[in-house]
Structure 1
Amino acid sequence: MKKKVLFSREEMARLCVEALKSRGVEIDEIAKIAYQQQARYTSNIRFETCRESVLKILSLRDIFHHVLLAVELDRMAEQKLFRGPIQDIIEQDLGLFGVDEVLGLDVARLYGVIGMTNFGDIDVNKHGIVSRLNEDGKKEGIVHTFLDDIVGAIAAAASTRVAQVINEDIAHEEPHKAISLFD
């Protein structure tokens, strides 16, 4: 009998949380980055809204696949399971590698250009848990080459989702009269 490969949204979110925890990442740490990023633009933002957004994003199939792949690639590099130069490239998180950022951008792009811009900010400025993962990844025997980018991308997507939720709430507070594209 084949193993299960399709999971419900609840299962995917739970498995993502477990995978992240196995690498020392808590959901609240990701939500904190999203909160700090959005708090610059919205004064009445709630931390719980950011946390809910992180969990919602972790329930998406593409994100589930990205998280599990990132965790597994880093684990494999720690165990030196790759051959040739790619082992050293991943293990040392070579600055010119870029494949880790591609995975991060793929996650962030689910929330459009703003999601990708938010990811760029997090990736360059290493906010919160992303900074710790990046620094820990420089220690002997620890690899976070893919994880730091995936975590940053989840935070970026959550930040963007929060902005969308807040703007949708505002739009409902201020209904517009019937408008036309030609007004």
Structure 2
Amino acid sequence: MDYSLNSEKVAHATEQCLMERGVTKDEIAELVMFLQRDYIPGLTKEKALHTVDQVLAKREVQNALLTGIQLDILAEQGKLMQPLQDMLQNDEPLYGCDEIMALSIVNVYGSIGFTNYGFIDKRKEGVLKRLNDKSSGQIHTFLDDLVGAIAAAASSKIAHGHQAELEEMKPGGALLQNIALTGENEAVKM
């Protein structure tokens, strides 16, 4: 039997896993709002949520989420080999694979995402605070970093879009935008 990936099933499984682990897209959008509130006046929750959806639609993001969540679940069930079991169960500070997987998400949207991710990872705002609470009995060694990375990536995407909008408003901005998009010097053609 030939293997054939069904993209809709992967996307649905990703959203289902997030819900089952108690994370809503609305909570991720709140993190986006937190990250961008000082930089983009008038940013709406709807725009943040729409951008979170766009980030979650990326296959790289879905792959990272499914993998990380599965590892967290296996750690909860005690099904990992030692010493990996203890490292994930205790969210070992020097175990960096969770951050590396999160950076694969952030990397999709450029370098500003790295700074957003570092900031939100240290602050542990909103849903990240809950995911880092070890008293719940759940293990979120990967999920907390992945959720932070989704918020950072969405924030980066919004920031890049905002910059493009600002440039379009400047005199000659549409011409500069066209040159950037086509890679041609439209001014020479005129």
Give the alignment's TM-score, normalised by structure 1.
0.89
Q: Cα offset for 1:176?
A: 1.6
Q: Which has the larger radius of gyration?
A: 2
Contact kept in structure 2, 1:122 and 1:152, CA below 8 Å: yes
CA distance in 2, matches of 1:152, 1:91: 19
Contact kept in structure 2, 1:115 and 1:156, CA below 8 Å: yes
Q: Cα offset for 1:128?
A: 0.9
Paired residues, number = 176
CA distance in 2, matches of 1:140, 1:54: 26
CA distance in 2, matches of 1:113, 1:78: 33
Q: List alignment gaps of at least 5 residues for structure 1.
A: none
SS in 1 for 2:53: helix
What's the CA shift string for 1:160-180, capped at 9, x where partnerless? 111112222222233427678
Q: Cα offset for 1:15?
A: 2.7
Matched with 1:176 is: 172
What's the CA shift string for 1:72-122, capped at 9, x where partnerless? 000000011111111000111011111111111111111121101100001
What's the CA shift string for 1:32-65, capped at 9, x where partnerless? 0001111111111111111011111111111010
Contact kept in structure 1, 2:114 and 2:152, CA below 8 Å: yes
1:106 aligns with 2:104: yes
Q: Cα offset for 1:3?
A: 6.1
1:61 aligns with 2:59: yes
Contact kept in structure 2, 1:12 and 1:58, CA below 8 Å: no
Matched with 2:181 is: none
Amino acid at match of 1:86: L
Matched with 2:95 is: 97
Q: List alignment gaps of at least 5 residues for structure 2.
A: 177-184, 186-190
Give me the CA root mean square deviation: 1.9
Q: Cα offset for 1:2?
A: 5.4
Q: Cα offset for 1:142?
A: 1.4
- Relative to 1, partners in 2 of residues 1:142 and 1:2: Cα closer, same or farther, differing over 3 Å? farther
SS in 2 for 1:139: helix
CA distance in 2, matches of 1:12, 1:157: 20
Contact kept in structure 1, 2:60 and 2:104, CA below 8 Å: no
Contact kept in structure 2, 1:118 and 1:160, CA below 8 Å: yes
Give the alignment's TM-score, normalised by structure 2.
0.85
Amino acid at match of 1:96: L
Superposed counterparts of 1:20-169, under 5 Å: 20-135=18-133, 138-139=134-135, 141-169=137-165
Contact kept in structure 2, 1:12 and 1:60, CA below 8 Å: no
CA distance in 1, matches of 2:164, 2:41: 16
SS in 1 for 2:81: coil
Contact kept in structure 2, 1:30 and 1:155, CA below 8 Å: yes
Contact kept in structure 2, 1:53 and 1:162, CA below 8 Å: yes
SS in 2 for 1:97: coil
CA distance in 1, matches of 2:130, 2:137: 15
